[in-house]
Amino acid sequence: MKRLIGLAVLTSLVAVAGVATTEQTGEASDHDDGESDVKARALNLTDHFTFVSTDPATPDDLTMIMYFNPRSLPGKEYSLSTKARYEIHVNKVAAKTAQPVLTDGAGTPLPDNFTFRFEAAAPAADGTQAITLTILKDGAALGTVTGATTNYANSKGNTNHTINTGDAGGVNAKFFIGPRGDAFHFDVVRFFQVRAWLAGRFFGGAGGNGDPNAPLATNCKGQALLGGILGTAEGDNDEVNLFNPPECAQDFTKNYNVLAIVLNVPIADLGGSVFDTWSTVSIAQ
């Protein structure tokens, strides 16, 4: 499982992201694990977001979003895996500084307060998939809500979105599933340049005590690391030029899409005000 600390909402909401496969687990959120023989792109989680609904019609809803299938190409239809469970987990927390209670006194794992489990059928000719949402409370299924995904053409046009709604055991759910533009922004080339420089500066040199002369290439504006401090005329008043400035940084996710599950649930239906939430993708072993 990989976790990503996210937004604070209501009193506090800790948003995290997780992924599990039959082969391995990880403990860091890296947005993109890449594809392998044991994990297809559709099983690759990227981000998880939780916040109070921004829709004026549902101001008391909790919105939870999971992104997966990174590096989706424009114009190409992508599908959820029919072998996977895409799950959003919710646990109530006593206070914003408290840890969620995940095990009993003997260390046995406790079921989540709520699990929203999405499972997909095979794609139809138009690229849409039938979806079954199972809502679980304290490990027991309350019921199911059926719906469908939105295909690429309708998602791109922001028209004819399929918004699915239903109730299971007193929990009302509204959800959208389909492609959206990747909101992540990351200059991966400069990141690796800076990482290599930090490794050399602090752990390189004789005896691994750090190399004060470790080189770092100038940034995308041609500015040296300490150009501002050393008085180099640069025109932007930056003293330390570690990462690339926004005007010329290269975003590796630009023009890529992701698949998104966007879930709205009334906060009152969850029976709390402080929550720990995260996402997982799992397949049977």
Q: What is the pLDDT along the chain (285 residues), one digit of tens a residue?
A: 333 333 323 323 433 333 333 334 444 456 776 677 777 889 888 889 999 988 888 889 999 999 999 989 999 999 999 999 999 999 999 888 888 888 888 989 999 999 999 999 999 999 999 999 999 999 999 999 999 999 999 999 888 899 999 999 999 999 999 999 988 888 989 999 999 999 999 999 889 999 999 999 999 998 888 876 765 555 556 678 899 998 899 888 888 999 999 999 999 999 989 999 999 999 877
Q: Is residue 208 part of a domain?
A: yes
Q: Is residue 3 part of a domain?
A: no
Would you state the pLDDT for residue 15?
34
Q: Is residue 271 part of a domain?
A: yes
* HEC sequence for the chain: CCCCCCCCCCCEEEEEECCCCCCCCCCCCCCCCCCCCCCCHHHCEEEEEEEECCCCCCCCEEEEEEEEEEEECCCCCCCCCCCEEEEEEEEECCCCCCCCCCECCCCCECCCCEEEEEEECCCCCCCCCEEEEEEEECCEEEEEEEEECCCHHHHHHCCCCCCEEEEECCEEEEEEEEEEECCCCCCHHHHHHHHHHHHHHHHCCHHHCCCCCCCCCCCCCCCCCCCCCCCCCCCCCCCCCCCCCCCCCCCCCCCCEEEEEEEEEEHHHHCCCEEEEEEEEEECC
Residues in the chain: 285
Phi, psi (rounded to 5 degrees) for 207: 70, 10
The answer to whether the pTM exceeds 0.75 is yes
How many C-beta atoms lie closer than 10 Å to residue 85's C-beta? 17
- 211 and 159 in a single domain? The answer is no
- 173 and 52 in a single domain? The answer is yes
Which residue segment(s) compose the domain that 147 sits in? 12-184+253-283
Would you state the pLDDT for residue 231?
58
Q: Is residue 214 part of a domain?
A: yes
Contacts within 8 Å (CB) and 24+ apart, 163-167: 164/131, 164/133, 166/133, 167/143
Rounded CA-CA distance 69/237 in Å is 40
Q: Is residue 166 part of a domain?
A: yes
- 21 and 150 in a single domain? The answer is yes
- 203 and 216 in a single domain? The answer is yes
Rounded CA-CA distance 184/199 in Å is 26
Q: Is residue 2 part of a domain?
A: no
Helix (H, G, I), strand (E, B) or coil at 82: coil
- 65 and 31 in a single domain? The answer is yes
Per the CB < 8 A criterion, the answer to whether 171 and 135 are in contact is yes
Q: Is residue 165 part of a domain?
A: yes
- 44 and 171 in a single domain? The answer is yes
Structural domains counted in the chain: 2
Q: Is residue 144 part of a domain?
A: yes
